[in-house]
Structure 1
Amino acid sequence: MADLKPKSDISFVEIFLCSAFAACFAEFCTIPLDTAKVRLQLQRKIVPAEGVSLPKYKGLLGTVATVAREEGLASLWKGITAGLHRQFIYGGLRIGLYEPVKTFLTGSDFVGEVPLFHKIIAALLTGALAIVVANPTDLVKVRLQAEGKLPAGVPGRYAGALDAYLTIVRQEGLRALWTGLGPNIARNAIINAAELASYDQVKQTILQIPGFVDNVFTHVLAGLGAGFFAVCIGSPIDVVKSRMMGDSSYKNTLDCFLKTLKNEGFSAFYKGFLPNFGRLGSWNVIMFLTLEQVKKIVTGQAYYD
């Protein structure tokens, strides 16, 4: 591949819509793993008088099974409406803006292979810009996912995604929709850069191995590689983001980071690593494959070199 570069002229609107569709499809397929990840990240150590209690959620499959058993299978798709809102806006913008920003950084007259440094900077910028716009959807998604099983007769905080937006604005103010924006910008900018740069590099490396060609299998391996690097780099920021969005008791990003580190140790920042990798790895594979097929329909040509 090398670059995420269309082989034929295509408008920003077309790129945006293709990217948004691919991101939404991947979101729908993988949100049960994302729900498990959020539950694991929000889970804290409980130390009663008798000793340390066992955690409620254990691992990817254990968390999925617990949520499905206690709350019903549909609970694994909690927050899907807000998740689709997020992916339509964030997914469409981060990929749709990538080429224009990269061209701006290199110059419209640039000829040849775009340096890796420019790819990383472009991805950092587009990830940051996209999540600034999409942060309210991310906040609502996390809040809906974080809500567990309630006692009989006790209603949930929100009746749905739209009610969540309105309730948060009414009770906490408009600015509350951008709670956790700092760690969210850092997370999404870094993960976006990690995904795009590592996808390029992993795919390039695979294609240098005798017998490998640019096909679906190569895309799957490159997508898994992108997901792994993204989770390794972004997991600590992701935990802070989820906790700030799911719990309003933290003063700011630094307060959340320090309290988590003090009370639970550094390992807490990699809570939910397996479901996060399972989710982000599979999300990358589904998204990239879907995006390529959708663009073939729109342009009649493959999206990747």
Structure 2
Amino acid sequence: MVTKHKDAPLHSLLAGTLAGAVEGAATYPTELLKTKMQLQGSASYLHHGGQSYASPLSCLRHTIKTDGLLGLYRGLTPMLLGNALKAGVRFLTYDTIKQRLRDHQGNLTMPRMLCAGMLAGTIEGLTVVAPTEAIKTRLIHDHCLPPGRRAYGGAMQCLGEVWRERALWRGVGPVMARQGANSCVRFATYDSLKQGLQGATGRPVTGAQAFGLGMCAGVVTVYATMPLDVVKTRMQGSGEHGSALRCARTIVGEEGPRALWKGATPRLARLMFSGAIVFSVYEEVIKFLR
């Protein structure tokens, strides 16, 4: 059983939004590298002369050489805004659902915790993540092409094009599945570790402890949900796949099963520190607001 302090919905929203903004700005370069690594196997990417990378390190070197250090933040604006909003929605929804699922003694079983995380991630994916990541992925895909073949001058131009194509929710199925799985695994892992630590020490977790627990939750989340992330990225990068299942079959058939974990290294770096930052900032903001 897990017994939790009841926080006001506004506190969860504010703490989650701030935590998401800090986390997004701090980890965006790894998200850029992960997306570039995932896109390079798609047909449209190769057709338009996109750069191929042997490793995340070679991708990093090429990006800095071609576009400078600021090139590591290409597409940051929609990602930063989306990250802040989705974290706010995620924590607000998760905490609200948890309160509804508690028993009459105020306890929350592990299955109900998993259910709360799954529902929170699914709602987050539908309302925020799908449209913001569609724009982010297009911008990164465009940035990977030779300068003469790039189509977008910025996020607003990309938004207009994606809107005209009615592609803001393209790949929404795998996005919802990935976010649901992410939140389910991440929250359950973090809250379980937090419960164990609090039970052992008899004290609330500190910011440093939340940082470490968040890193552990990030590692578990990456390897459990990576295939969904790869499929989502391929579908948003181009319109060459009709469904998530067809996309997954194409990837496995043409590139092998290991391609479903392509980009895992930069995503691991991102989600380790993402989990560490978002949970530690969230815990500290909640303490301040109480």
TM-score, L = length of structure 1: 0.84
- CA gap of 1:217–1:61, structure 2 versus 1, over 3 A, is farther
The residue that corresponds to 1:24 in the other structure is 21
Rounded Cα–Cα distance in structure 1 between residues aligned with 2:61 and 2:73: 13
The residue that corresponds to 2:169 in the other structure is 178
Q: Post-superposition shift, 1:261?
A: 0.6
Q: 8 Å contact 1:16–1:95 — kept in the other structure?
A: yes
**Which residue type is aligned with residue 98 of structure 1?**
Y
Is residue 2:136 matched to residue 1:141?
yes
Name which of structure 1's ranges 138-147 and 261-270 shifts more when overlaid on structure 2: 138-147
Is residue 2:283 matched to residue 1:292?
yes
Is residue 2:116 matched to residue 1:119?
no
Rounded Cα–Cα distance in structure 1 between residues aligned with 2:175 and 2:37: 18
Q: 8 Å contact 1:231–1:280 — kept in the other structure?
A: yes
TM-score, L = length of structure 2: 0.88
Name which of structure 1's ranges 13-22 and 124-133 shifts more when overlaid on structure 2: 13-22
Is residue 2:73 matched to residue 1:77?
yes
Q: Post-superposition shift, 1:164?
A: 1.5
Rounded Cα–Cα distance in structure 2 between residues aligned with 1:23 and 1:179: 23
- CA gap of 1:155–1:266, structure 2 versus 1, over 3 A, is closer
- SS of the residue 1:177 aligns to: coil
Q: Post-superposition shift, 1:18?
A: 1.8
The residue that corresponds to 2:46 in the other structure is none
The residue that corresponds to 1:169 in the other structure is 163
Compute the RMSD of aligned alpha carbons. Answer: 2.5
Rounded Cα–Cα distance in structure 2 between residues aligned with 1:277 and 1:209: 28
The residue that corresponds to 2:255 in the other structure is 264
**Which residue type is aligned with residue 148 of structure 1?**
H
Larger relative helix fraction: 2
Q: Deviations over 1:7-46 (max 9, x none)?
A: 5x52x23321221111011001001001111111112299
Rounded Cα–Cα distance in structure 1 between residues aligned with 2:26 and 2:155: 19
Is residue 2:27 matched to residue 1:36?
no
Is residue 2:189 matched to residue 1:198?
yes
The residue that corresponds to 1:303 in the other structure is none
The residue that corresponds to 1:280 in the other structure is 271
Structure 2: give runs of 5+ residues left out of the alignment: 44-50
Q: 8 Å contact 1:22–1:287 — kept in the other structure?
A: yes
Structure 1: give runs of 5+ residues left out of the alignment: 47-54, 300-305
- SS of the residue 1:139 aligns to: helix
Rounded Cα–Cα distance in structure 1 between residues aligned with 2:206 and 2:14: 24
- SS of the residue 1:231 aligns to: helix
Rounded Cα–Cα distance in structure 1 between residues aligned with 2:146 and 2:52: 17
* Identity rate, percent: 29
Aligned pairs for 1:153-168 within 5 A: 154=148, 156-168=150-162
- CA gap of 1:133–1:209, structure 2 versus 1, over 3 A, is same
Rounded Cα–Cα distance in structure 2 between residues aligned with 1:29 and 1:235: 21
Q: 8 Å contact 2:152–2:158 — kept in the other structure?
A: yes
Task: Give the number of equivalent residue pairs.
Answer: 282
